[in-house]
Amino acid sequence: MKVLVPEVAHYFRVALATPFHIMAALFGSTVLRRAWLGPSSLCCRTPGAPVSAAGLRFVSNAAPEDNRSPIIESTEEYKYVERLIPSSRIPTPPKHTGPTPSGWIPPADSPPSLPYMIRRSRMHNIPIYTDVTNSNRKLTLIRKVEGDIWALEKDVRQYLQEVTGKELPTQVNEVTMTLKVKGHFDKELKDWLVSKGF
């Protein structure tokens, strides 16, 4: 039976992590095979006493544990992780006096004095969207309307009459406060609303 010297014992504990066939090539003894299989066969023996059941006793098992310093938790490095955590709120855009280079135009400081109000989306854009159904039906949708939606519908119809010269069918949904217009007019309507100051 091999007697383990203290300096070799910690090599053995590290070697427990290596595969068995490499360990067998290194040491090549049946005693070690029994000791290796002892702690690994957890189903048939209690994990509390694998070493004693295998017949080997690590002489220096307790000694290295006592000489180690206690674990210190340091919280100074947390800031390196905390600065990587993303924000959940959309920031308000910085103050711009006119149109920005990307084409985004901020809303007017005071809302225009009209009977209706169209809020900006959460990304601070005009809430006008286009839709295509059955590949030939085009719709323009104006969302987030507050106030008198019928006045907005009248103004939209009149503006599009001037722009296109056609009477376009519109649909007002008073419950969801949305306005649908037949055709794709998102660019024109967005410029028109921005010029009004929404």
Partner 1 sequence: CSIISEYVFSLPLTPQFASSFSNESALPPNLLLPTNLVDPDRLKRPPPPADSSLPPLRKCDAAVPAHLTPVQTWVESLERQDSEPLGVAQLHPDVFAVPPRLDILHSVETWQRNYKRISHAHTKVRSEVSGGGRKPWKQKGSGRARHGSIRSPIWRGGGVSHGPRGPTSYYYMLPMKVRVQGLKVGLSSKMAQDDLHIVDSLNIPTPDSQYLLDLIRHRHWGESVLIVDVGEDFSENILQATANLKTVNVIPAIGLNVHSMLKHEAIVLTLETVKFLEDKLLWHDERYTPLYPFKLPYSDFP
Q: How far is the CB of 129 from partner 1 (least distance, A)?
A: 16
Span interacting with partner 1, options 47-55, 82-90, 134-142, 189-197, rule CB under 8 A = 82-90
According to DSSP, the residues that pair with 145 across neighbouring strands are: 118
* Footprint (CB under 8 A) of partner 1, residues 112-151: 117, 119, 122, 146
For residue 80, give both structure tokens.
Answer: 């390196």
Of 17-25, 38-46, 60-68, 83-91, the segment contacting partner 1 by CB under 8 A is: 83-91
Q: Provide DSSP, 145-184.
A: EEE-HHHHHHHHHHHHHHHHSS---EEEETTTTEEEEES-
How far apart are CB 156 and partner 1 at their closest, in Å?
A: 19
User: Beta-carbon neighbour count of residue 33 at 10 Å?
Assistant: 15
Residues 161-190 that bind partner 1 (CB under 8 A): 175, 177
* Closer to partner 1 by Cβ: residue 50 or 107: 107
Which residue, among 134, 151, 139, 125, has the nearest Cα to 180 in the 3D structure?
Answer: 139
Figure out which of the listed residues 48, 70, 85, 95 binds partner 1, where binding follows CB under 8 A.
Answer: 85
CA distances from 147 to 83, 113, 153 (A): 42, 11, 12
Q: Which helix (H) or strand (E) holds 93?
A: none
59, 63, 90, 132: which one binds partner 1 (CB under 8 A): 90
Nearest distance from C-beta of residue 94 to partner 1, angstroms: 16
Interface contacts to partner 1, rule CB under 8 A: 82, 85-90, 109-111, 117, 119, 122, 146, 175, 177
